[in-house]
Amino acid sequence: MKALLIDDERLARSELRRLLRAHPEIEIVSEAANAAQAEEKISALKPDLIFLDVQMPGRTGFELLADLPDAPRVIFTTAYDQYALKAFDFGALDYLLKPIEPVRLAQAIARLQSQDENPAHTAGARGVLGSDDQVFLKDGERCWLVRVSDIRVLESEGNYTRVYFAENRPLILRSLQTLETRLDPQLFHRVSRQHIINLRFVRKVEPWFDGGLLLRLGEKDPEVKVARRRAHELRERLSL
C-alpha cells in the first residue's frame, strides 16, 4: 500500500518513517512539508493512504482534505488532541497523538487492513463507523477513546448528545441527527427523537403506553420509551 507522509517537521517525518519499518506492507512513496507540496504529490503519485499533520504553515491538514476532489484514506498524526472529533468528521481512519506509540500505529494499520479485507464494513456514506472503530470523545477536560460497539445509548440534549458507555456519559457538541449518519444501522437503531440505542445492549423490553415499548439497557442508563409508531419496526429488528 502506497503512503505519503505529510508533516512540516522533518524530525517527525523521520520518526514516522522509522516506525513504519515494522510494517513492510506500507510503502512510503514520498514526503511533503506543507499542503501545497502534498496536493501536488497526491495528484502525481496517487497514494492509497496519507499520514497527515493538522497544524502546518499555510493550509491546515483539514483545509488540504477539503480542497482534494478525491482524498486518499487518512491517518492524522498531531500533537493536539482537540482536533480529534473534527478529524473523524473528515472520515479519518485513525488519530495518532505525537509522540506516536508503536502499539497505536499498529492498531491503525490493522484497522486499515481490516477495511481492505471487509469492504462491506465501510460501504455507503463516507465516514460511517464500524463496530470495531474507535472514536475520540471530549467533555471539558476529560477525554476518552471509545470503541463504537461499547456505546450503549446516545441521548439528545438540544444541539448536544450524551453518550453512554462503561461508567461514563459525556456530553458532546454533536446533534443526534449528525451522529446517526456516522453509525452502522446494523448495530444502532433510532427509536425516538431523543434516543439511538445499541441493539446488542437491550436486556429487557416491556409494554408501554398505547402500544409502545419501554426498553432497559444498562443499569445506570435511562429508560428508553418507544412510541407505537416506532415500536413495530423495533419488534421486527429484535425478532427472529
Quote the pLDDT of residue 93. 84
β-bridge partners, 156:
161
From the number of C-beta atoms within 10 Å of its C-beta (0-12, 13-18, 19+), residue 16 rates as buried
Model pLDDT for residues 27-50, shown as the tens digit of each residue: 999 999 999 999 999 999 999 999
Quote the pLDDT of residue 123. 40
CATH of the domain at 33: 3.40.50.2300
Quote the pLDDT of residue 118. 58
Q: Does a structural domain hold residue 129? A: no
Give me the residues of the chain with pLDDT under 70, please. 116-127, 240
For CA atoms 19, 23, 29, 34, give the dihedral sign. Answer: negative
Same domain? For 116 and 150 the reply is: no
Nearest CA to 105 among 192, 26, 8? 26
Q: Does a structural domain hold residue 60? A: yes
CA 229 → CA 95, 121, 192, 234, 238, distances in Å?
Answer: 40, 30, 10, 10, 16
Q: Which residue bears the cell 419501554?
A: 214
β-bridge partners, 144:
137
Quote the pLDDT of residue 25. 94
Q: Does a structural domain hold residue 34? A: yes
Return d(Cα 55, Cα 6) in angstroms, integer: 11
Among the candidates 67, 98, 122, a domain finishes at 122
Whole-model pTM? 0.56
What range defines the domain where residue 216 resides? 134-238
Quote the pLDDT of residue 127. 61
Quote the pLDDT of residue 50. 97
CATH of the domain at 190: 2.40.50.1020
Among the candidates 64, 91, 122, a domain finishes at 122
Q: Structurally, how many domains does the chain consist of?
A: 2
Among the candidates 122, 143, 163, a domain finishes at 122
Same domain? For 154 and 65 the reply is: no
Same domain? For 37 and 74 the reply is: yes
Quote the pLDDT of residue 120. 45
